[in-house]
Structure 1
């Protein structure tokens, strides 16, 4: 883990409340893995007190790219930073996705769950994998960076709840349709918890090894406060609790207690 002052290279608003931030952070970019996150101080001094965890959207050439939604004071402050500004940064943090090579992979993203999966898709393609990327949102306005995704050399499948783009319905239903006629060696997902629970059930039924990136509120970001625990089951079926920030945010989908 590195702590540094990262310089803002670019800050771009790509939707009404969606931003893309590029930071110059060579020490973190050199070791970042898909699925990991960074912890940012989003404000002056200690206001707001808590840092904000953001998934690493992409990494390379000494830069980190973050993709996030403006939700409160902290992210609103972050969205106002301009090239040359400095942002206090900790990272890379957490456990990332398991990378493989030469396989057929399914990546399933719900809404902002696209954030960590973009980085995974790029690295997966560089490792010679065939990637089917399933991307869902409430409507077409919730779909972002479609051209950038297609430029990765993936097969992109779109779903919207209202049918304004692509398949009408949840992205997990679209993936379920593809599972009927296609085999995947591994699957990965990030998005709202109900969508992840559905994804995990489908993966288990199809005997596809699967990992999920959990979206949980975090405080310290490195396991000291126990504020982001999630329930898991071990190989014997025994229930236990793990910090999402250190044990995850990526977990084996079959190990997560989706019922709570």
Structure 2
């Protein structure tokens, strides 16, 4: 009896968690006369074709590529800095506690406050740049200067305040279980520090590095609050989707949601496949 009660509770939890996603996917395949609610009015790819043609003045394709580019940049920077920080924290490091709490502290700060702070900092930076250009008399540069706010500046920094703490915590967990005897054996055989890292450490932690990359991309891909005040004059796909929920009254908005979910699942599938491949390589070796 207890088993069936727990199974029922688990099924309800899964339905509560993924039911809304399933409803969005189903409603996105309605016919041309379909609406935003059930019952379904036919089945077709009509709303996906409408999405490909654009939703009003919103350029969905450009927003999609901006989100992809930003997600890949966040993923790369998160991997590099997380691995380097994990290696650094393996040895006695002056100010390690302060540095750790500074990095992890961004997780407990409200996301909108982080976004506002970063946006304000870059606007102050804009003011400083303009003052210097004006003081130097470079009027052409001053007139052509826009803002330092952008996808790969302020938005990238805002997303890293969200992804780097997770990457660092994962690397702590990995290196706490890492056997240093492998590195000692490599050094005994004459390997340099770089050779030890490249041929011994990196292959062993590679599956976890893939996991950090997946975390970085997926957290960046659907981030809204930390992006809203730090993005500048363009929008990522989640911000466009949020804005469209108040203006688009057709299942095209569900088609867009389905596309974003497909991209997320494709990234997770690639990461899981790469994780499994890397995990098998040491055993074959």
- TM-score scaled by structure 1? 0.21
Which structure has more relative contact order (CA 8 Å, sep 6+)? It is 2
- TM-score scaled by structure 2? 0.20
**Which structure: greater strand fraction?**
1
**Which structure: greater helix fraction?**
2
